[in-house]
């Protein structure tokens, strides 16, 4: 029951390529190459159309000509590097005398191809970019993952809050934060040993992943026996139900005694005159206060701060 307090390796990259060229013959050749190589793709006839496509769909790579009407390749490259920094760009041109390899690489392109080109060269350059993206994804995953529990770590928690909170406010959906602490974990460690304590933390991670919404909620281990869950796109009842389900499942396992879970819940609130950093710190502080209000009552409670009673 919620009490109201009134005061793994990352997935493989799915390559999706945007082909940009104002010459229909070249665009058709690129499309045929993508079909042969097995890549998903869309097309655009110039930089302005490409910008529209980038807003509508997600891409991992852009292949673009340099000389085009309305918005040329260099302008499109600059736009992509500013607005979509994770998208790689390979520049294709028949006018290498206007912009050379060094020019486009300095501007942020991953590679450069001169027309005419063969499918083998195109395949080799695309495969290199995909390999590099996959390696970067794996390294980023390792840097933000807690290896014991397979949850995200505290560093990524802080980054995710800075990303998710402004987005939620812009798009008008609520975000809740649950802070979780294992009651009497030191006693459990002293009684059964640190290896058993580590297994308990690993099982807590599995419970969180099972009782939260896949690809919606975000689960983290702060370190020690402290955890957090960011719950977007939810009502007060849904956020409370997630906390209830986690606690109920934990109580059902006698092997976890004498431990229990304390949970503090809070809803993000935007305050006039506050910076994003101040409002995020306020959210964490309110969830933390609710958590320790529960621990002060002996633990094994989910406490919601007063923000949970605000109209949605």
For residue 207, pLDDT beyond 60: yes
Question: ∠ CA(91), CA(97), CA(98), 5° rounding?
Answer: 65
This prediction has a pTM of: 0.64
User: Where residue 6 falls among pLDDT bands split at 50, 70, 90?
Assistant: very low
What is the set of domains in the chain, with CATH numbers? 16-143 (3.40.50.2300), 146-309 (3.30.70.270)
What distance in Å separates the CA atoms of residue 126 and residue 131, rounded to the nearest whole number? 9
Residue 21 to residue 244: CA distance in whole angstroms = 55
Quick one: pLDDT at residue 96?
57
pLDDT, tens digit, for every residue of 234-261? 999 999 999 999 999 999 999 999 999 9
Please report, rounded to a whole number, the percentage of residues in the chain having pLDDT higher than 70.
92
| Res. 191: pLDDT tops 90 | yes
User: With 50 as the cut, is the pLDDT of residue 8 above it?
Assistant: no
* 301 touches 312 (CB < 8 A): no
Q: What is the pLDDT of residue 98?
A: 63
Kindly write down the DSSP assignment for every residue of 101-146, as one continuous string. Answer: HHHHHHTT-SEEEESS--HHHHHHHHHHHHHHHHHHHHHHHHHHB-
The 10s digit of each residue's pLDDT in 130-162 is 888 888 877 777 778 998 999 999 999 999 999
Query: In the prediction, which pLDDT does 312 show?
Result: 61
Q: Over 50: is that where the pLDDT of 7 sits?
A: no
The answer to whether residues 235 and 164 touch, using CB atoms and an 8 Å cutoff, is no
More confidently predicted of 183 and 2:
183
13: confidence class by pLDDT, cuts 50, 70, 90? low
If residue 228 lies in a helix (H) or strand (E), which one and from where to where?
A: strand 226-232
**Which residues are catalytic, by number?**
225
Per-residue pLDDT at 4 exceeds 50: no
Tell me which of 94 and 147 has the higher pLDDT.
147
Question: pLDDT band for position 40 (50/70/90)?
Answer: very high
Given this model, what pLDDT does residue 5 score? Answer: 46
Whether residue 73 contacts residue 91, with contact meaning beta carbons closer than 8 Å, is answered with: yes
């Amino acid at each position: 029951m919620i009490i109201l307090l009134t005061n793994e390796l990352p997935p493989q990259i799915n390559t999706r390529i945007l082909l940009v060229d104002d010459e229909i013959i070249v665009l058709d050749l690129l499309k045929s190459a993508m079909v042969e190589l097995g890549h998903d793709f869309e097309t655009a006839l110039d930089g302005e159309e490409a910008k529209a496509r980038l807003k509508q769909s997600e891409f991992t790579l852009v292949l673009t000509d340099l000389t085009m009407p309305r918005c040329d390749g260099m302008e499109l490259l600059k736009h992509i590097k500013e607005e979509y920094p994770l998208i790689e760009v390979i520049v294709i041109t028949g006018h290498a005398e206007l912009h050379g390899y060094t020019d486009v690489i300095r501007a942020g392109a991953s590679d450069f191809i001169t027309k005419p080109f063969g499918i083998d060269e195109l395949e080799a350059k695309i495969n290199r970019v995909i390999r590099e993206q996959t390696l970067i994804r794996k390294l980023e995953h390792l840097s933000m993952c807690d290896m014991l529990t397979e949850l995200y770590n505290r560093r990524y928690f802080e980054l995710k809050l800075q990303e998710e909170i402004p987005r939620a406010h812009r798009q008008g959906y609520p975000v809740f934060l649950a802070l979780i602490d294992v009651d009497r974990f030191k006693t459990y460690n002293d009684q059964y040993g640190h290896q058993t304590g580590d297994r308990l933390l690993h099982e807590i991670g599995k419970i969180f992943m099972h009782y939260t919404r896949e690809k919606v909620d975000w689960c983290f281990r702060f370190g020690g026996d402290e955890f957090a869950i960011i719950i977007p796109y939810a009502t007060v009842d849904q956020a409370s139900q997630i906390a209830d389900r986690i606690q109920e499942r934990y109580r059902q396992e006698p092997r976890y005694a004498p431990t229990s879970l304390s949970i503090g819940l809070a809803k993000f609130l935007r305050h006039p005159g506050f910076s994003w950093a101040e409002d995020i710190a306020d959210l964490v502080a309110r969830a933390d206060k609710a958590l320790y209000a529960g621990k002060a009552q002996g633990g094994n409670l989910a406490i919601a701060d007063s923000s949970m009673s605000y109209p949605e």
